[in-house]
């Protein structure tokens, strides 16, 4: 992960241009993707911050297991709630923003994290379709239209079932990927994370929460082992 770029973006002041920051760090190609959007420079900077908060393992905004809930909170934080682009962002329906997300994950150089964050998006999209379906309706007495409606209802049901099984299968794979992340992110930037600050959990970022969870698990396993050893000696 390019920490300097992440930190420069999240710590940028209101009077700083992210275009200038990207250019100064030789990441003009990344900003060029966002620059394709027909938005003001201010809106482009807010969109970049949204992506950085949403798709970086250092982000302190990934508290909920509900991806959509995280996205809504991040949109509010960066000042995009209620904007025209916000709904497209939540549903991953803007081609340029999706391309920038892919660019950002490649810059991170962490394949497992890219798989995990993208997989969580995929699951959210599949489950949304399970709930909403194809939005088909019919009123009237035209036999041909009625027959087409019945056919589409069956298609909708089949597609919902497929989406549900896709999500279920993806969730199982995501559990495996998360295990790898849990192990690796106990060692961030070559430093063993044994001294994670005992802050209120809401202030600890994703990677630190995983490290804390691992440390507590190891401590409990060690206590259980010591207890069993003592019983055997007794």
Model confidence at 158: pLDDT above 60: yes
Question: Exposed, middle or buried, 170 (CB in 10 Å: 0-12/13-18/19+)?
Answer: middle
Q: Are 30 and 103 in contact (CB under 8 A)?
A: yes
Return the sign of the alpha-carbon dihedral for residues 166, 51, 33, 43. positive
Residues 111-133 have pLDDT tens digits of: 777 888 888 888 888 888 787 76
Structure tokens at 9: 């973006």
- In angstroms, the CA 157 to CA 116 distance is 28
Query: Within a 10 A sphere around the Cβ of 75, how many other Cβ atoms?
Result: 23
Residues 187-234 have pLDDT tens digits of: 433 334 444 444 434 444 555 555 666 667 777 777 777 777 766 666
Per-residue confidence band for 37, with pLDDT thresholds at 50, 70 and 90: very high
Could you tell me which residues come within 8 angstroms of residue 65 by beta carbon, excluding any fewer than 6 positions away?
A: none
């Amino acid at each position: 992960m390019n920490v300097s770029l992440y930190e420069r973006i999240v710590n940028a002041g209101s009077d700083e241009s992210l275009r200038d920051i990207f250019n100064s760090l030789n990441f003009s190609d990344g900003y060029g993707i966002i620059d394709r959007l027909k938005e003001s420079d201010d809106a482009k900077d807010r969109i970049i911050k949204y992506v950085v908060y949403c798709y970086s393992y250092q982000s302190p905004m990934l508290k909920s297991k509900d991806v959509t809930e995280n996205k809504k909170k991040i949109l509010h934080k960066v000042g995009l709630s209620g904007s025209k682009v916000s709904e497209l962002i939540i549903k991953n329906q803007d081609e340029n923003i999706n391309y920038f997300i892919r660019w950002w994950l490649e810059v991170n150089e962490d394949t497992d994290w890219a798989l995990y964050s993208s997989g969580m998006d995929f699951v959210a999209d599949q489950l949304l379709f399970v709930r909403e379906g194809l939005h088909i309706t019919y009123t009237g007495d035209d036999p041909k239209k009625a027959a087409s409606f019945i056919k589409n209802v069956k298609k909708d049901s089949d597609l919902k079932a497929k989406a549900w099984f896709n999500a279920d299968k993806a969730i199982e794979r995501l559990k495996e990927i998360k295990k790898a992340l849990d192990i690796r992110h106990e060692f961030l930037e070559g430093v063993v994370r044994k001294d994670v600050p005992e802050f209120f959990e809401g202030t600890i970022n994703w990677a630190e929460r995983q490290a804390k969870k691992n440390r507590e698990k190891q401590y409990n396993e060690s206590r259980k082992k010591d207890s069993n050893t003592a019983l055997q000696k007794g």
